Amino acid sequence: MPFVRISLNRGRSPEYIRALADNTHRALVEAFDVPADDRFQVIHQHEPGELIFDRGYFIDGERSDGFVLIHVQAGRVRSEAAKRATYRRLVELLGQSPGIRPEDVMITISTSQPEDWSFGHGMAQMLDKPIPRCSHVE
């Protein structure tokens, strides 16, 4: 259910991008109550001049060209505590792999409702089916 859009500067390896996407998802699974296989992500790689950000706004330290902007569209409301835990865990995991500085991780969440999602077949699965919980870890 979360639909995640990640924006960064072009120039990273496929492995870097995969690790970024993997650990973004892992943080959502661990802290945002997302099933392990509920994964839908889009990566936007930007040319010079297409990703514009202030280097210092609202943080200690400075953002670098390694800045990533992660937008999470959630399908149901989460608590403030869950959001805070997600921010912390995301920065932690992205620091481990692919090695992104804490200053360079920006996240924003927007929330819609269960009726706002169709996962395929023209159905509104979040209304009509129990949310699948799988035991395997990705």
Window 12-41: residues binding a copy of itself (CB under 8 A): 14, 17-18, 21, 35, 37-41
- Told to check if 107 binds a copy of itself by CB under 8 A, we report yes
For the bound state, the minimum distance from the C-beta of residue 48 to a copy of itself, rounded and expressed in Å, comes to 8
List 30, 66, 71, 76, residue binding a copy of itself (CB under 8 A): 71
- Told to check if 64 binds a copy of itself by CB under 8 A, we report no
Q: 3-class DSSP state for residue 7? A: strand
Burial label for 68, CB within 10 Å (0-12, 13-18, 19+), is buried
- Told to check if 91 binds a copy of itself by CB under 8 A, we report yes
The token pair at 46 is 């930007």
Q: How far apart are CA 49 and CA 132, in angstroms?
A: 42
For the bound state, the minimum distance from the C-beta of residue 97 to a copy of itself, rounded and expressed in Å, comes to 16
Give the strand pairing for 68-74 and 3-9: antiparallel
For the bound state, the minimum distance from the C-beta of residue 94 to a copy of itself, rounded and expressed in Å, comes to 9
Q: Which residues contact 19 (CB under 8 A, 6 or more apart)?
A: 97, 98
Catalytic residues: 2
